[in-house]
Amino acid sequence: MAASRPDPSTGRSTGPSPGEVVLEAHGIRFGYDRQVVLEDVSLRVRAGEFVALVGPNGSGKSTLLRILLGAIRPDAGTVGIFGEDPGRFVERWRVGYVPQRPNIASEVPATVEEIVTSGRLARRGWWRGLSASDRSAVGHAIESVGLTELASRPVTTLSGGQQQRAFIARAFASEPDLLVLDEPVAGVDAESQRRFSDSLTHLIREHEAGVLLVSHELSAVAGAVDRVIVLKGRVLFDGSPDELVRGGVSLGVHREDLPLWLEGLR
Amino acid sequence: MTAASGFPFEFAYMQRALVAGTAVGIFAPMIGIFLVQKRLSLIGDGIGHVAFAGVGAGLLLNVWPVWSALAFAVVGALGVDWLRARRRVAGDVALALFFYSGIALGVVFVSLGGGLNANILTYLFGQPLTVMRSEIRVIVGLGAAITITMWVFRRALFAVVTDEDWSRAAGLPVDALNATLAVLTACAVVAAMRIVGILLVAAMMVLPVASAQLIARSFRGTLAWAVCIGVVSVVAGLWAAWIWSLAPSGAIVLAAALIFTICSIVKRAAPRSLRQEEHA
Determine the pLDDT at residue A33. 77
Please check whether residue B205 is in contact with residue B223, taking contact to mean a CB–CB distance below 8 angstroms.
no
Which of B174, B203, B199 minimizes the C-alpha distance to B84?
B174
pLDDT mean over B5-26: 89
CB atoms B217 and A121 under 8 Å: no
Q: Say if B67 falls within a structural domain.
A: yes
Among candidates A114, A118, A157 on the partner chain, residue whose Cβ is nearest the Cβ of B220: A114
Hey, is the C-beta of A174 within 8 angstroms of any chain B C-beta? yes
Q: Which residues of A touch B153 (CB under 8 A)?
A: 127
At residue A7 the predicted structure's pLDDT band, cuts being 50, 70 and 90, is low
Determine the pLDDT at residue B272. 60
Determine the pLDDT at residue B145. 94
Among candidates A92, A103, A122 on the partner chain, residue whose Cβ is nearest the Cβ of B165: A103
Please check whether residue B124 is in contact with residue B52, taking contact to mean a CB–CB distance below 8 angstroms.
yes
pLDDT over threshold 90, residue A246: no
pLDDT over threshold 80, residue B254: yes
CB atoms B162 and A105 under 8 Å: yes
Of A41-50, A53-62, A257-266, B259-268, the one with minimum mean pLDDT is A257-266
Which of B219, B220, B210 minimizes the C-alpha distance to B267?
B210
pLDDT over threshold 90, residue A249: no
Give backbone dihedrals phi and psi of A25, rounded to 5 degrees, phi first. -130, 140
CA B143 – CA B94 distance, rounded (Å): 27
Q: Pick from A67, A118, A182 the residue to mutate for testing the B interface (most B CBs within 10 Å).
A: A118
CB atoms within 10 A of CB B79: 17
pLDDT mean over B71-79: 93
pLDDT tens profile A75-101? 999 999 999 998 888 888 899 888 877
pTM of the entire structure? 0.83
Q: Say if B80 falls within a structural domain.
A: yes
Determine the pLDDT at residue A126. 81
Q: Say if B255 falls within a structural domain.
A: no
Q: Which residues of A touch B155 (CB under 8 A)?
A: 117-118, 121, 126, 130
Determine the pLDDT at residue A193. 74
At residue A44 the predicted structure's pLDDT band, cuts being 50, 70 and 90, is very high
What is the pairing mode between strands A210-214 and A76-81?
A: unpaired
CA A192 – CA A146 distance, rounded (Å): 8
Determine the pLDDT at residue A70. 85
Of A136-150, A219-233, B142-156, B227-241, the one with minimum mean pLDDT is A219-233
How far off is chain A from B164, nearest CA to CA, in Å? 8
Residue type, B259: I
Determine the pLDDT at residue A8. 45
What are the residue ranges spanned by the domains of chain A?
21-101+176-265
pLDDT tens profile B21-65? 999 999 999 999 999 998 888 888 889 999 999 999 998 898 889
Residue type, A92: R
The number of domains in chain B is: 1
Hey, is the C-beta of A164 within 8 angstroms of any chain B C-beta? no
pLDDT over threshold 90, residue A190: no
Hey, is the C-beta of A110 within 8 angstroms of any chain B C-beta? yes
Q: Which residues of A touch B35 (CB under 8 A)?
A: none
Which residue pairs from B11-15 have beta carbons closer than 8 angstroms and sit at least 24 positions apart in sequence? B13/B129, B13/B130, B14/B129, B14/B238, B14/B242
Q: Say if B219 falls within a structural domain.
A: no
How far off is chain A from B119, nearest CA to CA, in Å? 38
Of A37-41, A106-110, B13-17, B25-29, the one with minimum mean pLDDT is A106-110
CA A176 – CA A96 distance, rounded (Å): 5
> Which residue from B minimizes the CA distance to A112?
B218
CB contact set of B205 (below 8 Å; sequence gap of 6+) = B28, B29, B31, B32, B35, B41, B44, B185, B188
How far off is chain A from B211, nearest CA to CA, in Å? 11
pLDDT tens profile A16-39? 777 789 999 999 999 987 788 999
CB atoms B156 and A126 under 8 Å: yes
Angle at the Cα of A57 from the Cα atoms of A53 and A58, rounded to 5 degrees: 95
Q: Say if B277 falls within a structural domain.
A: no
Determine the pLDDT at residue A263. 64
pLDDT over threshold 90, residue A45: yes
Angle at the Cα of B235 from the Cα atoms of B232 and B238, rounded to 5 degrees: 140
CA B197 – CA B245 distance, rounded (Å): 18
String of DSSP letters for A86-123 = TTT---GGGEEEE-SS-----SS--BHHHHHHHHHHHH
CA B210 – CA B264 distance, rounded (Å): 10
CB atoms A111 and B217 under 8 Å: yes
* Mean model confidence pLDDT for chain B: 88
Tell me the CA distances in angstroms from B233 to A151, B206, B207, B240, one per residue in order. 32, 12, 10, 10
Q: Which residues of B touch A103 (CB under 8 A)?
A: 163, 165
CATH of A21-101+176-265, one of 3.40.50.300, 3.40.366.10, 3.30.420.80, 3.30.1360.200: 3.40.50.300
Which of A170, A120, A118 minimizes the C-alpha distance to A145?
A170
Determine the pLDDT at residue B29. 96
CB atoms A108 and B278 under 8 Å: no
Among candidates B161, B171, B209 on the partner chain, residue whose Cβ is nearest the Cβ of A105: B161
pLDDT mean over A44-68: 89
> Which residue from A minimizes the CA distance to B210?
A108
3 state DSSP class of A58: coil
Hey, is the C-beta of A114 within 8 angstroms of any chain B C-beta? yes
CB pairs under 8 A between A and B: 93
CA A97 – CA A94 distance, rounded (Å): 10
Among candidates B170, B219, B280 on the partner chain, residue whose Cβ is nearest the Cβ of A92: B170
Q: Pick from B34, B40, B152, B162 the residue to mutate for testing the A interface (most A CBs within 10 Å).
A: B162
Buried b (16+ CB within 10 A) or exposed e, A233-249: bbbebbeebeebeeeeb
Give backbone dihedrals phi and psi of B84, rounded to 5 degrees, phi first. -65, -45
Hey, is the C-beta of A108 within 8 angstroms of any chain B C-beta? yes
The whole domain housing B45 covers 8-202
CB atoms A108 and B217 under 8 Å: no
Please check whether residue B205 is in contact with residue B181, taking contact to mean a CB–CB distance below 8 angstroms.
no
CB atoms A102 and B166 under 8 Å: yes
What is the pairing mode between strands A210-214 and A178-182?
A: parallel
pLDDT over threshold 90, residue B70: yes
Determine the pLDDT at residue A257. 64
CA B86 – CA B79 distance, rounded (Å): 11
CA–chain centroid gap for B13, Å, is 22
At residue A209 the predicted structure's pLDDT band, cuts being 50, 70 and 90, is confident
Determine the pLDDT at residue A62. 85
DSSP secondary structure letter of residue A4:
P
CA A211 – CA A176 distance, rounded (Å): 10
> Which residues pair with residue A182 across a beta bridge?
A214
> Which residue from A minimizes the CA distance to B34?
A108
For A:81-100, CB contacts with B below 8 A are 90-93, 95, 97, 99
Residue type, B8: P
At residue B280 the predicted structure's pLDDT band, cuts being 50, 70 and 90, is very low
pLDDT tens profile B87-144? 655 566 767 877 888 889 998 998 887 776 767 888 888 888 888 888 899 999 999 9
Assign residue B77 the CATH number of its domain. 1.10.3470.10
Hey, is the C-beta of A69 within 8 angstroms of any chain B C-beta? yes
pLDDT over threshold 60, residue A128: yes
Q: Say if B235 falls within a structural domain.
A: no
